[in-house]
Amino acid sequence: MQSVQLDNFPHTQEHILELFHEFQDRNSDHSYISSASIRQIAEHLDLSMAEVYGVLSFYHMFSHRPRGKYVIRLCDSLSCRIVGSLDIYAYLTEELGLARNRVSQDGLFSLELVNCLGSCNTAPNMMINEQLIPNLTLAKVDSYIHSLQEEAAHEKE
């Protein structure tokens, strides 16, 4: 993990989200903000750790727990549920052996349910890291998962 140069950020609370992005992006292997990082942010902004954690836990894009290399965010809105997101959730938990907010045994995937991804007209939707994947089908999900598994296997070689 690369260190974050806090000197580049003003000591004002308005920059807390920028700091979250910076710390989480630097921890790209697990895509989370560690307790030590929360402490650094709190000290830099002259906030308590509880205040920093309160803001951190409000935003689902940030995590204080390690996550997989690929963070799958499945939309759980009414629009997505009506067109099959629960079937996709069941498939992902069976295919990857995941439970909500847990990391797969191989460390590749995390599964999160989110309230809305802002693309109801293309439901059901999910995001993998920062990429929106609309109009999901089980075959499409399977294709993405297997493609990412192959990509990860090639990176290890």
Where do we find the tokens 């205040």? 51
Where do we find the tokens 């830099």? 44
Q: Which two tokens stand for residue 23?
A: 């710390």
The β-bridge partners of 155 are none
The β-bridge partners of 111 are 72
Q: Are residues 34 and 75 in the same domain?
A: no
The pLDDT score that the predictor gives to residue 3 is 63
Is 136 inside any structural domain? Answer: yes
User: Which segments within the chain are labelled E, that is strand?
Assistant: 70-75, 109-114, 126-128, 131-133
> For all residues of the chain together, what is the average pLDDT?
89
Phi, psi torsion values for 132, nearest 5 degrees: -75, 135
Instruction: List the CATH number of the domain containing 109.
Output: 3.40.30.10
Number of domains forming the structure of the chain:
2
Mean pLDDT of the region 112-118: 91
Is 1 inside any structural domain? Answer: no
Beta strands 109-114 and 70-75, pairing class? parallel
Q: Are residues 79 and 104 in the same domain?
A: yes
Mean pLDDT of the region 9-15: 86
Q: Are residues 44 and 80 in the same domain?
A: no
Is 77 inside any structural domain? Answer: yes
Is 65 inside any structural domain? Answer: no
Q: b or e along 110-133 (b: 16 or more beta carbons within 10 Å of the residue's beta carbon)?
A: bbbbbeebebbebbbbbbbeeeeb
* pLDDT tens digits along 87-113: 999 999 987 788 888 888 888 999 999
Q: Are residues 53 and 80 in the same domain?
A: no
Using the predicted structure, report yes or no on whether residue 2 has a pLDDT greater than 60.
Answer: no
Q: Are residues 91 and 29 in the same domain?
A: no
Percentage of residues in the chain having pLDDT higher than 90: 57
Structural domain containing residue 49 = 6-58
The pLDDT score that the predictor gives to residue 64 is 87
